[in-house]
């Protein structure tokens, strides 16, 4: 059997690509797709802004992943006992200094790209950009890291949900109303489900490292219930929106995603599920978020009604 070291990326490019944690990038893409779709439906699409919003969101996610890689190693949360995918710094593939420089550079590039959106949409986007980068660092860094104190869930819900969808809509339409914000709760909830699986898998090592996630604070049973709640509510939000608006009924097709997610719910609730199994759930939940954003977007535009 090949050792874990044998499965590590062998090239410098492969190491850095792995460190971006590609499976988590769907959390950045899905909400932006939804914001674009709602803007298209409202006749407010602005494609240069949409493209820059997408690229900026991906860069902020990558920067956050690099920062987590660095700070979790420095704070001792990532050790040889880690059950999740290999972290570049913990594995000795990238030095802590190089990882710190990397996340600073990625965040700087995201900020520079975002200046176009600030030029177009003004100070609200500047505030969103600054807080997104700030919380990307404070997720595991700083004197009171969010991820270490059970606060990460609420920030993931907000920033990968209403702020991501609403912000994408705003940079195109230069206005905002309640629908993009309500719709944004769904990707925020699925992103929170992603975080919950991660915390459930790492509950023992996090407890030893003093990382007090909600799973550590309230137990594995709470984490399992949180995962189920987030997925089910997210899938029902489009139904509620369609009934409320008396239109956009095609968006209700998102409920079909309950079928592929049922085995993952079963694995999450199985107390004997291994870290390997939960890693697979993590990857599939990331894909679920992308598929949700895609199906929602297609359904929203296909079922367009005037507002």
pLDDT of residue 176: 95
| Domain CATH number, residue 89 | 1.10.600
Secondary structure in 3-state letters for 220-272: HHHHHHHHHHHHHHHHHHHHHHHHHHCCCHHHHHHHHHHHHHHHHHHHHHCCC
Closest listed residue to residue 156, CA positions, set 234, 84, 100, 251:
234
Q: Are 153 and 230 in contact (CB under 8 A)?
A: no
Segment 60-73 mean pLDDT? 89
Closest C-alpha to 83, from 280, 267, 263, 226: 280
Q: Give the range of the structural domain holding residue 11, as residue numbers without chain letter.
A: 5-302
Give ∠ CA 235-193-157 in degrees, rounded to 5: 85
> Would you state the pLDDT for residue 303?
76
Cβ–Cβ < 8 Å for 248, 300: yes
The number of domains in the chain is 1
Contact present, 103 and 70 (Cβ < 8 Å): yes
Neighbours of 86 (CB within 10 A): 17
Residue 277 lies in a domain: yes
State how far the Cα of 42 lies from the Cα of 248, in Å rounded to an integer.
12
Residue 200 lies in a domain: yes
Question: pLDDT at residue 3 above 50?
Answer: no
State the average pLDDT over residues 55-68. Answer: 92
Decide if pLDDT at 161 tops 80: yes
User: Is residue 307 domain-resident?
Assistant: no
The average pLDDT across 172-189 equals: 96
Task: Pick from 12-26, 74-88, 214-228 the range whose average pLDDT is largest.
Answer: 214-228
What tens digit of pLDDT does each residue of 129-140 get?
Answer: 999 998 888 877
Has residue 122 got a pLDDT over 90?
A: yes
Cβ neighbours of residue 200 closer than 8 Å, sequence gap 6 or more: 215, 220, 223, 224, 227, 268, 278
What pLDDT is attached to residue 11? Answer: 79
**Residue range 181-203: mean pLDDT, rounded:** 94
String of b and e for 233-245 (b: at least 16 CB within 10 Å)?
A: ebbebbeebbeee
Percent of the chain with pLDDT over 70: 92
Query: What average pLDDT does the segment 55-73 reach?
Result: 91
- What does the pLDDT average to over 57-68? 92
| Residue 226, domain member (yes or no) | yes
């Amino acid at each position: 059997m090949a050792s874990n070291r044998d499965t590590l990326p062998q090239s410098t490019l492969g190491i850095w690509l792995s460190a971006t944690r590609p499976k988590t990038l769907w959390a950045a893409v899905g909400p932006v797709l939804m914001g674009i779709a709602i803007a298209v439906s409202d006749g407010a699409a602005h494609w240069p802004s949409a493209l820059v919003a997408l690229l900026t969101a991906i860069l902020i996610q990558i920067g956050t992943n690099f920062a987590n890689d660095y700070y979790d190693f420095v704070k001792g949360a990532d050790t040889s006992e880690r059950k999740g995918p290999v972290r570049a710094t913990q594995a000795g593939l990238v030095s802590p200094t190089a990882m710190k420089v990397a996340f600073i550079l990625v965040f700087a590039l995201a900020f520079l790209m975002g200046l176009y959106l600030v030029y177009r949409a003004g100070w609200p986007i500047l505030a969103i950009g600054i807080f997104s980068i700030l919380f990307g660092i404070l997720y595991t860094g700083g004197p009171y890291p969010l991820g270490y104190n059970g606060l990460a869930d609420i920030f993931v819900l907000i920033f990968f949900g209403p702020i991501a969808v609403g912000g994408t809509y705003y940079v195109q339409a230069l206005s905002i109303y309640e629908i993009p914000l309500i719709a944004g709760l769904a990707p925020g909830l699925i992103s929170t489900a992603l975080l919950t699986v991660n915390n459930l898998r790492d509950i023992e090592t996090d407890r030893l490292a003093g990382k007090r996630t909600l799973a550590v604070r309230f137990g594995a049973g709470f984490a399992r219930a949180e995962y189920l709640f987030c997925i089910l509510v997210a899938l029902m939000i489009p139904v509620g929106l369609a009934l409320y608006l008396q239109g956009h009924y095609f968006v209700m097709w998102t409920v079909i995603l309950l079928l592929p997610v049922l085995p993952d719910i079963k694995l999450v609730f199985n107390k004997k599920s291994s870290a390997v199994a939960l890693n697979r759930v993590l990857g599939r939940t990331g894909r679920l978020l992308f598929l949700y954003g895609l199906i929602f977007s297609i359904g929203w535009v296909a079922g367009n009604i005037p507002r």
